[in-house]
Chain A
């Protein structure tokens, strides 16, 4: 039987591991007891006596008087206590998502996926979910600043308008530096600004750009663009280091497509095969059917060899390329079998590699099928080389003024410190940052922009796919939309960006549809839906040319020796632009399960040979980093996440982890996020990481079940043989529970779940789950109600990985329920395991008796507590709390909401109407929720599927959550 393990220690000796784990846990608890509880039995008695007296005193005093303040004039659409949803768009850090914003009594409290968007298709990512917290960030600018001192807009406008005029007269260059702009209305504003100021120039800068793809396509198609990748159409997916399920380009859209191409529910369903070449273990690699660990320097050789092999198979002339260490014959056969139905992508920023990838896709006939060129992805437009030119221009004073919007080069560019000095020496430097950051600190003027939830905007993430963003709350601080600032400084009297957006839509987009004959109607309709698909396709598929391809192949160098460091965007923090978000910091890395730090992932073999363990400290080019021994890490490579080590970010993010951007280099005009010949040294230090991978152990019992696609085709119940055994042994003394009305259940398709962790953050936002910090995570107290267990199997050097979301299983024979001495956790008539928080006295018996280890205990008061200074310590930060859910101190409402709605309306609840937060926005559609008493519901069908099993069903806990066996499309 396959062995599943969660860490290297467990792999080596499971029994020893189990024993040490227990010891560690006991020790940790003992230490905690000694450290934290200075209180003894006598203290308890004292406190008890005092509280009895206090109770009497309190009881005899008057009760607090609460006020009830109604609206003066009630807005029509607002019913106090009922949430409204507004369609909007998220676009930050090059990530786009069409969203619905849940607004309760005037304040946004939750982000959900918009099902009407053809781009994000109701999916979100963990970063999108967590973005709601950025709105209530204490680190936001409250007023405009002049050299760090608060000022007002009048002074700002007076000075800057004057200064811009002066620079214009003197014909000195002013640069508007932005991250990628996908808003057509904003572009029109920028163009107006540029026309007004002929000395001004507009430049887009992305920290992690797609320059390689853009430049390669410039050569191959004569146009710099990112094509539209259709993962759902591909039968064979080959990715060279592209983490398309985690952070690459349009990951939510790709995750939707990827899981759509791999859904196995009935006979005849097909499944794509996914090959992944990569160095560190990403979530994309962990989902691959075939994963090949390679050094980053070998990627060029591999891509070129693959191209050559395909040429050879087709009987075409081949090139001279260095030999690769990987046998590609199986892959080539697969690709040739699926011509026009395969997809080859590369995450490299090297133009040559991207050119060869284009060559491969062309040979396989993928253009026009799985790679569409008529529709382009617009979220990455920055060209690295242009920014390099700008740096030299700032340094030699060719540029006199710099307006920074949505960029933070001082932090995320290798020459950050030089940029900082150069910016400080400019005649005019303005930052439009929303919250404090390194670049804003270097600028003379800060003109804060509102949060995206407070602003009007529109977006064209893909050609012809438009969406709108609308304010869900009025501005919390004295901020102003950048577009309005630009218009104002361009001489317009009372600029109003709302009008600009509206006019743009009515003037330019209204004509691209036929449904509405009135512009206003079209606008209202679009605003309500949030998205609009143009009926006119502007361009046809572009023609591929081989220009530059042969040069590219010649330039491919053989792989190098020595240590290679790979810098990657982590799933939680991406490029670090939301560096002050405690939800994201606390979210464990989907693979390494580490929160609150970045770390060096080192190969298992090397670690074993050199006596390196988790939490050892090594230096990488002089930077000290804690180690995580990562199964699957390619030999000779170390991966470290970007996005950490912010110096100026706010109280949560400052000084968390190390900044790795300075290690990136510029090569051939593009940023390179790996380096060879790195200096790696051991140190004798250790660093305590918050690793939660071995917490909440289910003690080595078979939790994950798997099969292969070929076996599944022969027998849909393959891999699920145990279920039959358990069914046979099923006997019970107790009468079976009867659920008269609803019986809620959930199913998790392990084949679809990618481990992206969107559900964890979504749940955190929905249920007011507190952030507990590094220390408490180390103490095995992580609070996430949905944790995603990650198991490895097979070889330690290149294991197979399984992601398994585990949440409360709502067992019908719940072991937690009958041990509660105060009946604080009974079972409901609808099969739910309920907790009456105010009844709980904190015995924690339930936690000890839960075989799934999903019970969570609030060890402290996490709100308004200086020990936990994250987001809940200020009035502002607490605005994000969901008023429909208790803020548990010591010690599901969506179902109720929909039931009430149905009851009042006098109708039955439809299937799929009740959607918990995790299910609603799952980008892989891996979670299904519904009424098991309805035989027609999706959940009933999932649970009847042959692949369905329950966790530890031999315990006869009768969980309401089912899991569908993981299927991999392995090469036979």
Chain B
């Protein structure tokens, strides 16, 4: 009985800690949002709510199983959706009047959109509320992606168990079998160490990082289907440190004519045209982030090393969404330098290496790797 009681107090204390902890970690934004009343400009709240219901397919619509949201995402999705998201549409039409919105929805000009919007029959009233809903969305901004606190919560939880086990082991001795808190302690501690170790090792590395870009640009379509060479767009790769994200006017070389894509319709390409017309450059998300203190030059690797782009960037021609192929760690660089052979004979620059040429001729060595000519010197990349 006494022991039972003890256990209960222990549990209570534990639950209390969990409660305190969750109060601190509960996203404060959510609490704030629930208290805030929705204010809209120019539209009544009822319109907005009704529009939302229509968009979600909760009101009658002549398609049986589909509604707006079936194609136009409201929340961020993990998979590629060629159709513009609700938020993108909202932004685009926020400044425009209802008539143009209506024309765009009911009498679309593009091939792809006419296909999917075929025989749309939406009452003006319904569509107006949809516009109100979208306008409101444009004003409020899209829903921010909630950061995942899973790792943090787990880490702190383990810390808590660990502390409890330790305290029990030393002071309270509420659990009779000493082995239990000991195992719990070691287990929790070990797990924590493992978490720190894995995270620390991964710190700053972003293999497979594939963020959503402001324009749904597909390398697969441009490279694989249309057969455009990498260097057509990444012009400075042979001479510059960076390969160069193409300037928007370079896109317009083709897109001055091509205004509609097979997958994305007109919406995505219109963004480029818009950027050029408004004089506002597209803000891409940078994928390949080298750690600080590293200087890397594409010119050496592509210009003189003649490396193939895919060696570091992977099968870009198969990527609809561009992602980071290599982990860009120092070990990865160094290993490649150790294995990669240098075109020693053809490039007259290497005539500086008289001794190596002699050795090569005499057959003392059979090939020169990048490492042999100092590619793994610290100051090659760190200066």
Contact = CB atoms under 8 A, between A and B. Distances in A.
Chain A complexes with chain B: yes
Interface of A: 52, 55-63, 65-74, 79-82, 738, 740-742, 826, 828-830, 832, 834-839, 884-886, 892-893, 896, 899-900, 902-909, 931, 933-934
Interface residues of B, number: 70
A838 B246 contact: no
B240 A82 contact: yes
B75 interface: no
Contact of B247 (A63, A67, A73, A886): A73
B281 A80 contact: no
Given A59-B199, A66-B285, A892 B349 contact: no
B200 A55 contact: yes
A52 to B, nearest CB: 7
Contacts of B279: 72
Contacts of A830: 374, 377
Contact of B244 (A59, A70, A837, A906): A70
| Residue picked from B283, B286, B304, most chain A C-beta under 10 Å | B304
Contacts of B196: 52, 55-56, 59
Contact of B378 (A52, A63, A80, A828): A828
Contacts of B299: 900, 904
B151 interface: yes
**Lowest 9 A-B CB distances belong to which pairs?**
A59-B199, A60-B151, A829-B374, A834-B379, A74-B247, A904-B303, A903-B304, A81-B241, A68-B286
Given A60-B149, A903-B300, A909-B349, 18 more contacts: A59-B203, A60-B150, A60-B152, A61-B147, A69-B282, A70-B247, A71-B249, A71-B281, A73-B248, A79-B239, A79-B240, A79-B244, A80-B236, A81-B240, A828-B377, A835-B382, A902-B349, A909-B352
A69 B281 CA distance: 7
Contact of B352 (A57, A72, A933): A933
Contacts of B372: 740
B176 to A, nearest CB: 32
A886 B282 contact: no
Interface of B: 147-152, 155, 192, 195-196, 199-200, 202-204, 206, 211, 236, 238-242, 244-250, 275-276, 279-286, 289, 291-293, 295, 297, 299-300, 303-304, 346-356, 372-374, 377-380, 382-383
Contact of A67 (B149, B242, B286): B286
Q: Which of A61, A68, A82, A907 has the most CB of B within 10 A?
A: A68
A55 B202 CA distance: 11
A829 B147 CA distance: 47
22 contacts: A56-B151, A56-B196, A60-B149, A62-B147, A68-B284, A68-B286, A69-B282, A69-B284, A70-B244, A72-B281, A74-B247, A826-B378, A828-B379, A834-B377, A837-B293, A839-B378, A886-B292, A899-B349, A904-B239, A906-B346, A906-B348, A934-B352
B348 A908 contact: yes
A931 B249 CA distance: 43
Contact of A79 (B147, B148, B236, B348): B236
B144 to A, nearest CB: 11
B242 A80 contact: yes
Nearest to A68: B286
A893 B244 CA distance: 20
A67 B283 contact: yes
Contact of A66 (B150, B275, B289): B289
Interface centre among A80, A884, A909 (most CB of B within 10 A): A80
Given A66-B289, A738-B355, A828-B377, A892 B239 contact: no
A72 B248 CA distance: 5
Contacts of A908: 348-349, 351-352
Contacts of B382: 834-838, 886
Contacts of B240: 79-82
A886 B379 contact: no
Contacts of A905: 349
Contacts of A742: 352
Contacts of B282: 69-70
A82 B280 contact: no
A832 B286 contact: no
Given A828-B379, A836-B382, A903-B303, A60 B155 contact: yes
A884 B247 contact: no
A411 B246 CA distance: 52
A908 B352 CA distance: 7
Contact of A829 (B250, B303, B373): B373
Nearest to A65: B285
Nearest to A60: B151
A73 B350 CA distance: 37
Contacts of B150: 60
A740 B353 contact: yes
Nearest to B280: A72
B383 A892 contact: yes
A63 B248 contact: no
Contacts of A839: 378
B242 A81 contact: yes
A52 B203 CA distance: 13
B256 to A, nearest CB: 13
A562 to B, nearest CB: 57
B236 A70 contact: no
B374 A741 contact: yes
A70 B246 contact: yes
Nearest to A907: B348
Contacts of B351: 908
A788 B348 CA distance: 39
A178 B296 CA distance: 49
A829 B373 CA distance: 7
Contacts of B147: 61-62
B342 to A, nearest CB: 10
A738 B354 CA distance: 12
Contacts of B151: 56, 59-60
B323 to A, nearest CB: 15
A884 B275 CA distance: 30
Contacts of A885: 383
Contacts of B204: 63
A69 B244 CA distance: 10
B182 to A, nearest CB: 23
Given A740-B356, A828-B379, A72 B373 contact: no
A740 B373 contact: yes
Contacts of A57: 152, 155
A834 B373 contact: no
Given A81-B241, A896-B297, A67 B284 contact: yes
B272 to A, nearest CB: 10
Q: Which of B249, B284, B285, B299 has the most CB of A within 10 A?
A: B299
A608 to B, nearest CB: 49
Given A74-B250, A903-B304, A908-B351, A56 B281 contact: no
A904 B304 contact: yes
Nearest to B276: A72
Given A66-B286, A72-B281, A900-B303, A907 B247 contact: no
B241 A82 contact: yes
A63 B148 CA distance: 12
A906 B347 contact: yes
B48 to A, nearest CB: 30
A820 to B, nearest CB: 11
A56 B300 contact: no
B248 A70 contact: yes
A541 B194 CA distance: 86
Contact of B383 (A74, A893, A906, A933): A893
Nearest to B149: A60
Residue from B281, B353, B378, B379 with most neighbouring chain A CB atoms (10 Å): B379
